[in-house]
Amino acid sequence: MAMLKSLIRRLFVGAEIVLDAVFGQANNPLASLGAFGWFFFWIAAASGIYLYIFFDTGITNAFASVEYMTHEQWYAAGVMRSLHRYASDGLVVVAFLHLLREFSLDRLRGRRFFAWVTGVPLLVFIYVCGISGYWLVWDKLAQYIAIATTEWLDVLPMFGEPIANNFLNSETLGDRFFTLMVFIHIFAPLFMLLLMWVHIQRHARGRVNPPRPLALGTAIALVLVSLVAPATSQGPADLDVVPATLQLDWYYLFAYPLFDHAGGGTMWLALLGGTLVLFILPWLPPQKPEPAAVVDLDNCNGCARCFEDCPFSAITMVPRSDGKSFEIEAVVNVANCMSCGICVGACPTSTPFRRATAIVPGIELPQHGIGALRQATLDRAAMFGDDARVMLYACEGSDCNGLESEGVKVITMPCVAMLPPAFIDFALSRKLADGVMLAGCAEGDCCHRLGDEWTRQRVAGERDPYLRNRVDRRRLSLSWERRQSARRRTLDDFRERLRGLPTTGDGDD
């Protein structure tokens, strides 16, 4: 399993590097696959509502109404039909890419299982919505899909009589059956929308919109494709004639040619077996989760910064339980906590400057204590040489250990946003280093969702806790590069810049 994940990850990294060069890291499409799923869904939903205005739900007039929209009103309903088709295809593509990428990054195990498990039925509903939509056109392709689907469903011993009998000839199929298909195609997306909402419930500030430049560019591209290659029908359905030649939409209908060769029973086994495997992947093999964050009420003043910054909705604020004068306190939901430490970086009591008492912040990761981080900073600073000393704080996933040298000391943590801004001040004001570099995941693609964004805002003084104004920003560098070679160049440039700066004086505590 690990080898498979590694192989897929290498393929994605290669594609991400190319797309970084084209779009820039902040607008890399592969970092917004989930958001693109929402984007395509809304386009398909909006265009579908427009099409329904002109659609005749009677089986005898369905094809004629679709032809009217395609040819007579090509400039509006015709474009909407094509948008509906291409957005639906786009939804399938990004859904599968999103699944593969999250699998390759191992973002499905431990406490992350919820988003994965709720995403599996979404795939089923995507296909229910798409395939039922093809029925409504009621052309030759719809005829083929209807017969093949009902024969496949008849394999299950749940119907009083074979539903495929409805398609024996033109006289056996009535409007009632067709109305059922319309009902499915309308209400399946509504239930799918509910599942999409559930899917992101453990994500605070879930990303449901891709970056604006990407969204605008994609919308323009969809409109252009709709004008250049409009979606068309394949001739009216005729149950008295077997269609000879068809053009399949391979995004939705790739399995249909297999029905004739493998049989309905085999296809049901493949579907159910594949779905079961997807459901149990988060526990193959089981993963022991990291200890969750813990709250120390003696140092918690109920400021709610940890609540505001948690990317996984793992913290709630409740009425005070210890009788102190503060109104509220933080409580950690262990089931949601991903042990990223971002809440620790948000806590105002996470300061290395404390001397009189032990360093115990209001919220902390048991395995990555702030006191231990302070000691690691002091220990690593004692190992420096004399030239352009850089203290590099990095997230564990950024692979920065190879950058360590006599002038560069690396300290890792689950997410770089775990580092309180006070540590930057501490390292520079105490002259423990000539410069500080923060290295995290690629911009807009944080493993813990919001770490890069919160770090930038804290350093820029846009989000509590702020980096104090007394800190010389020339001695601070942020690195979000995806490639190790690019990160090394940034580090080398930073050290060269430090060599040109005057020697720092003593700072205040």
* Tens-digit pLDDT profile for residues 2-25: 899 999 999 999 999 999 999 998
Query: Which amino acid is present at 18?
Result: V
User: Residue 346 has what pLDDT?
Assistant: 96
Q: Which run of H or E residues covers position 476?
A: strand 476-479
Q: Where are the beta strands (DSSP E) in 238-279?
A: none
Look at residue 129 and give its three-state secondary structure: helix
Look at residue 350 and tell me whether its pLDDT is greater than 60: yes
R_g of the chain computed on alpha carbons: 28
Q: Which run of H or E residues covers position 437?
A: strand 435-439
Q: Which run of H or E residues covers position 402?
A: none
Greater model confidence, 162 or 136: 136
Look at residue 376 and tell me whether its pLDDT is greater than 90: yes
Residue 230 · residue 82 · CB < 8 Å: yes
Question: What pTM does this model have?
Answer: 0.91
Give backbone dihedrals phi and psi of 74, rounded to 5 degrees, phi first.
-60, -30
Place of tokens 């799918």: 192
User: Residue 504 has what pLDDT?
Assistant: 58
Question: Taking the CB of residue 305, how many other CB atoms lie within 10 A of it?
Answer: 21
Q: d(Cα 279, Cα 113) in Å, to the nearest integer?
A: 9
Burial of 304 (0-12, 13-18, 19+ CB in 10 A): middle
Provide the token pair at 335.
């089931």
All domains of the chain in start order, with CATH: 2-283 (1.20.810.10), 294-499 (no CATH)
Pairing of β 328-332 and β 435-439: unpaired
Place of tokens 């940034």: 490
Percent of the chain at pLDDT > 90 equals 74
User: Residue 506 has what pLDDT?
Assistant: 46
Give backbone dihedrals phi and psi of 365, rounded to 5 degrees, phi first.
-90, 125
Provide the token pair at 62.
């369905």
422-461 residue pLDDT tens: 999 999 999 999 999 999 998 889 999 999 999 999 999 9
User: Residue 168 has what pLDDT?
Assistant: 65
Nearest CA to 473 out of 453, 454, 451, 498 is that of 498
User: Residue 219 has what pLDDT?
Assistant: 97
Mean pLDDT of 462-475: 94
Look at residue 479 and give its three-state secondary structure: strand
Judged by average pLDDT, the poorest of 87-91, 413-417, 498-502 is 498-502
Look at residue 507 and tell me whether its pLDDT is greater than 60: no
Look at residue 243 and give its three-state secondary structure: coil
Look at residue 358 and tell me whether its pLDDT is greater than 50: yes
Going by pLDDT thresholds of 50, 70 and 90, the confidence category of residue 238 is confident
Residue 27 · residue 211 · CB < 8 Å: yes
Q: d(Cα 135, Cα 179) in Å, to the nearest integer?
A: 11
